[in-house]
Amino acid sequence: MALLEVHRLSKAFGGLTALRAVSFTVAERELLGVIGPNGSGKSTLFHIIGGVLRPSSGTVAFAGETITGRQPWEICRLGIGRTPQIPMVFPGLTCLENVLVGAAFGSRRRRLPVARARHEAIAALETVGLADLAARPAPRLSLGQTRLLELAMALASAPRLLLLDEPTAGLSPAAVQRVLQLLRGLRGRGVTIVLVDHKLRAIADVASRLLALDRGEVIAEGPSAEVTRHPRVLEAYLGEP
Amino acid sequence: MPLLEALLAGTAQGLFYGLLAAGFAITFGVARTFNLAHGELVLLGAYAGLWLNASLGAGPLTAAAVAGLALALWAWPAQALLSRITPASELRVLTLTFGLSLLLQNLMLLSFSADYRFLDWERAEVVWRPLGVSLGAGRLTAAAAGAGLLLVLHLFLQRTRPGRALRATCQDARAAGLMGIPVERMQLLGLALGGGLAGAAGPLLATLQYVSPTVGPPLTVIALTLTIAGGVGRADGLALAGVLFGIVESLVVALAGPAWREAWLFGALLLLLQGRRTGLLRGRRAS
């Protein structure tokens, strides 16, 4: 059984159709890359799966349970961790305290004891390589470190599925490589990931399968090597088939 | 002796000011804008206390408890109003609270008239003289209630699961939602606490000064000033800011006269807006 099932998802904002009957599935332990140029509907898709937006039609099911229209906090507690496209951390807290929020409130195992939540928060910081900065106030991190902190916050809730919305946006090439290396490591540990990005090469390098969107429609789906050579994908990215 | 009197009386008054600001600060945290009707909510609590006192003989503490519970119920209509404002920009919500302030002032004028009233109770005339300084029972009761409620609020925010979730929501509601915190429930809790603390402050205010439907706006300005000084989600910061503010106010009144009381208040607000971006205790660890 697929862990995530998206069925004929559509979303219209007034006269603008952002998503048109998008369907796909994500198997357990898979790393699916969702690609597409700016405005192709990638973030809208993530917002609907994460409960930030309601779809005009269609359904989203997670582990066999329909989650369409649920609140973001409910979806988090069901086991879907998410990092946003625009960095979003608690500015008055240290790195460790930020991750503790995820461990204490986002976990499927609700009411985690404080000591256990702290242990898991430290483990999440170690996973992303920020353990040395645990006591640093979150606003003092660089953009790259903030992206890693968000990843640690999502990991601390022990999600079954991670939704990562452009985790490499705005990062230097070296920082992009660090994030990709981390994703490979998570994939190796069996974490199921759906990753949105418009950096075709970077995402094709880590994803086992790609879903390509253009103007709200699925234009290609399959193994990374095939999708990156698909004529419609090349047309969407380069303007020519 | 004037200095000692200013210290003791200012500390007592300041603890009440801390309570006055606590409800405003929490409401600001969850609604992300100033509630300009805060002073009127305090006055609704004051009139509830005056009614309880006149009809049932309730003292200020009983009246504060009942008025606090009653005003906590404002959370439901407040959240319903907030949820209907789309997009929920800060300016729109600010305008809404300004309109609410005017509406409540006029409804109170219609219901209670413009007469000045005072909560009279059996100990109203009792005066303690610690270190030779005269402190009325009303002021000491308001200070004790303020200190007690601020302590309970501090423990709630720092030590309990809902308190921590509320603080996270005050810092960033969208991030809190992504982390599994039920944001709407936390907003309702914050509004209930805000209304409840404002309501509890009302009967205590009526033991300190005469109240009428039009004395709300200066109360809102005091709460706003202390929130900027003390920070959001920090009951200890509000208590410290309240005490500092109360002492300086007492000194200003003792040395320059009561006419300078409001001038000092607005001066302090202007200075804070120029220089302070975080609360007095914001630099410390948050949990």
SS3 B121: coil
A50:B178 CB<8 A:
yes
Question: From edge to edge, which strands make up the β-sheet containing A57-62?
Answer: A16-26, A4-13, A57-62, A65-66
Q: What percent of chain A has pLDDT over 70?
A: 97
Q: Which two tokens stand for residue A135?
A: 């006591």
User: What is the per-residue pLDDT across A51-108, written as a single tens digit (0 to 9) for each?
Assistant: 999 999 999 999 999 999 899 999 999 999 998 888 889 988 899 999 999 888 887 6
Give the orientation angle of helix B137-159 with respect to helix B2-31, to 10 degrees. 40
Predicted confidence at residue A59, as pLDDT, reads 96
Read off the pLDDT band of B146 (50, 70, 90): very high
CA-angle at A90, arms to B227 and B21, nearest 5°: 15
Q: Which two tokens stand for residue A20?
A: 């048109």
> Which comes out higher in pLDDT, residue A201 or B29?
B29
Instruction: Specify whether the CB–CB gap between A103 and A133 falls below 8 A.
Output: no
Does position B285 have pLDDT exceeding 60, yes or no?
A: no
* Amino acid of residue B150: L
DSSP string, A58-125: EEEEETTEE-TT--HHHHHHHTEEEE-SS----TTSBHHHHHHHHHHHS-SS-S--HHHHHHHHHHHH
Residues of chain A with CATH 3.40.50.300: 1-79+160-241
What is the longest distance spanned by two Cα atoms in chain B?
58
CATH architecture of B2-113+132-275: Orthogonal Bundle (1.10)
* Amino acid of residue A126: E
A101:B176 CB<8 A:
yes
Q: Which of the listed ranges A147-161, B226-240, B250-264 does the model predict with the highest average pLDDT? A: A147-161
Name the residue among B245, B259, B256 with its Cα closest to residue B16. B245
Predicted confidence at residue B263, as pLDDT, reads 81
Model pTM?
0.85
Contacts of B171 in chain A (CB under 8 A): 90-93
Read off the pLDDT band of A8 (50, 70, 90): very high
CA-angle at B65, arms to B67 and B121, nearest 5°: 85
Predicted confidence at residue B283, as pLDDT, reads 42
* Choice among A134-143, B13-22, B226-235 with the minimum mean pLDDT: B226-235
All residues at 6 or more sequence positions from B219 whose CB lies less than 8 Å from its CB, including other chains: B20, B38, B39, B42, B43, B205
Burial class (CB in 10 A: 0-12, 13-18, 19+), A177: middle
Indicate the DSSP class of residue A198: S
Say yes or no: B168 contacts chain A, CB-CB below 8 A: yes
Instruction: Specify whether the CB–CB gap between B202 and B49 falls below 8 A.
Output: yes
Whole-Å CA distances, B197 to B114, B117, B146, B282: 24, 21, 10, 22
Number of neighbouring beta carbons within 10 Å of residue B57:
10
The fold adopted by the segment(s) A1-79+160-241 is Rossmann fold (3.40.50)
Q: Which two tokens stand for residue A131?
A: 């353990």
Does position B277 have pLDDT exceeding 60, yes or no?
A: no
All residues at 6 or more sequence positions from A108 whose CB lies less than 8 Å from its CB, including other chains: A77, A78, A79, A157, A158, A160
What is the spatial distance between Cα A44 and Cα A27, in angstroms, rounded to a whole number? 21
Q: For A90, which of B161, B172, B282 is closest by C-beta distance?
A: B172
Q: Which two tokens stand for residue A125?
A: 């910081």
SS3 A36: coil
pLDDT, mean of residues B173-183: 90
Say yes or no: A168 contacts chain B, CB-CB below 8 A: no
CA B259 to chain centre: 23
* Amino acid of residue B187: Q
What is the spatial distance between Cα B219 and Cα B221, in angstroms, rounded to a whole number? 5
What is the spatial distance between Cα A34 and Cα A32, in angstroms, rounded to a whole number? 7
Does position A240 have pLDDT exceeding 60, yes or no?
A: no
SS3 B223: helix
Helix (H) or strand (E) holding A207: none
Instruction: Specify whether the CB–CB gap between A32 and A7 falls below 8 A.
Output: no
* Residue listed under structure tokens 């270190």: B131
Q: How many helices (H) and strands (E) would you count in chain B? A: 12, 2
What is the spatial distance between Cα A93 and Cα B172, in angstroms, rounded to a whole number? 11
Residues of B (200-239) whose Cβ lies below 8 Å from A: 233
Residues of A (51-110) whose Cβ lies below 8 Å from B: 71-74, 76-77, 82, 84, 88-94, 97, 100-102, 104-107
DSSP string, B225-263: HHHHHH-TT-HHHHHHHHHHHHHHHHHHHHHH-GGGHHH
User: What is the per-residue pLDDT across A119-139, written as a single tens digit (0 to 9) for each?
Assistant: 989 999 999 999 999 999 999
Predicted confidence at residue B287, as pLDDT, reads 33
Predicted confidence at residue B1, as pLDDT, reads 58
B172:A89 CB<8 A:
yes
Predicted confidence at residue B284, as pLDDT, reads 39
All residues at 6 or more sequence positions from B232 whose CB lies less than 8 Å from its CB, including other chains: B25, B26, B28, B29, B170, B279
> Which comes out higher in pLDDT, residue A10 or B278?
A10
| Mutant choice from B169, B178, B183 vs A, greatest count of A C-beta within 10 A | B178
What is the longest distance spanned by two Cα atoms in chain A?
57
* Amino acid of residue A135: A
In the predicted model, what is the mean pLDDT of chain A?
89
User: What is the per-residue pLDDT across B87-105, written as a single tens digit (0 to 9) for each?
Assistant: 778 888 899 999 999 999 9
Say yes or no: A139 contacts chain B, CB-CB below 8 A: no
* Residue listed under structure tokens 């000011």: B17
| CA-based nearest distance B171→chain A, Å | 6
Predicted confidence at residue B22, as pLDDT, reads 94
Instruction: Specify whether the CB–CB gap between A218 and A24 falls below 8 A.
Output: yes
Whole-Å CA distances, A93 to A29, A87, A138, B54, B69: 32, 15, 6, 48, 32
Does position B276 have pLDDT exceeding 70, yes or no?
A: no
